[in-house]
Amino acid sequence: MSAAISLESVSKRFAPAAPPVLADVDLRIAPGEFVCLLGASGCGKSTLLNLVAGLEAPSAGRVRVPAGRTAVMFQDHALFPWLTAGGNVQLALKARGVPRAERRAEAERLLALVRLPGRHDARVHALSGGMRQRVALARALAQDASVLLMDEPFAALDAITRDHLYAELTRIRLALGLTVVFVTHNAREAVRLGDRVVLLAARPGRIAREWTVDLPHPRRIESAAVAGLSAEIIDRLGEEVAGADV
């Protein structure tokens, strides 16, 4: 099976004399796979995501996304406050070339998909943090991309809201067959969501270890199986952090 995303010997530095942020990264992600990138701050997780999105170019190596267009969702929902929830989603539809006459119905469909039915005309300031991230997810889905790139999208939310959004994201990505790359600092979050967890070591960023998460859905973040694998990952992450500090 061909990869949805392929990185071949990828390195990245931001200036010719600067040390590399990423070095010799090889990674293949299958269509429909959910991969979580985990690592300490500064290990290059967000840089790797930007390379896949095409927002940055590698200094060496090759990044390929045969699956096609990518959509990106960040920690900050980045919604336009002067637009309604539906207006934010329609903006992405307009950029995609969806005819004006079809945009409202499609925006309403996408908002319903993220469990915000009837919220098309809601103002952003009237929505909770979790609702705003649902609108941001609907806007990302409006781009009709088969690859969804997510940079710590739930980090600023409370635990209960995050847990609801974990379930929603799992439901949506399985229903749509999306390929997802999800950046996180949270090992339990990675095991709760991912099919595979990729640990990046820092200085420079490289793949230190990978784990296949062979647990059925639905998963609970407090379950013994999730906690057990998370503890193993946290121990290895601690080793990488300690090694980088030497």
Q: What's the CA gap between 34 and 30, in Å, rounded?
A: 9
Interacting residues of 235 by C-beta distance below 8 A, sequence separation 6+: none
d(C-alpha 72, C-alpha 197), whole Å: 19
Q: With beta carbons less than 8 A apart as the criterion, state whether 93 and 142 touch.
A: yes
The pLDDT assigned to 151 comes to: 95
Average pLDDT value for residue range 202-219: 93
For residue range 101-137, list pLDDT tens digits in order. Answer: 999 999 999 999 999 999 999 999 999 999 999 999 9
Provide the H-helix boundaries in 44-125: 45-53, 85-96, 100-113
pLDDT bucket at 1, cuts 50 / 70 / 90? low
Give Cβ neighbours of residue 49 (< 8 Å, ≥ 6 apart): 37, 72, 149, 151, 181, 183
Least confident of 62-66, 74-78, 120-124: 74-78
pLDDT tier for residue 56 given thresholds of 50, 70 and 90: very high
Res 9: pLDDT: 97
Average pLDDT, stretch 70-76? 90
Segment 21-36 mean pLDDT: 97
**Number of neighbours of residue 237 by Cβ within 10 angstroms:** 21
Query: Mean pLDDT over residues 7-13, rounded?
Result: 97
Judged against a pLDDT cut of 60, whether residue 246 lies above it is answered with no
What is residue 211's three-state secondary structure?
Answer: strand
Q: Which residue has the tokens 């749509």?
A: 176
Whether the predicted pLDDT of 193 surpasses 80: yes
| Locus of tokens 């270890």 | 209
DSSP 131-160: HHHHHHHHHHHTT--SEEEEESTTTTS-HH
Taking only the tens place, the pLDDT of each residue in 132-176 is 999 999 999 999 999 999 999 998 899 999 999 999 999 999 999
Dihedral sign (CA 181, 185, 189, 190): positive
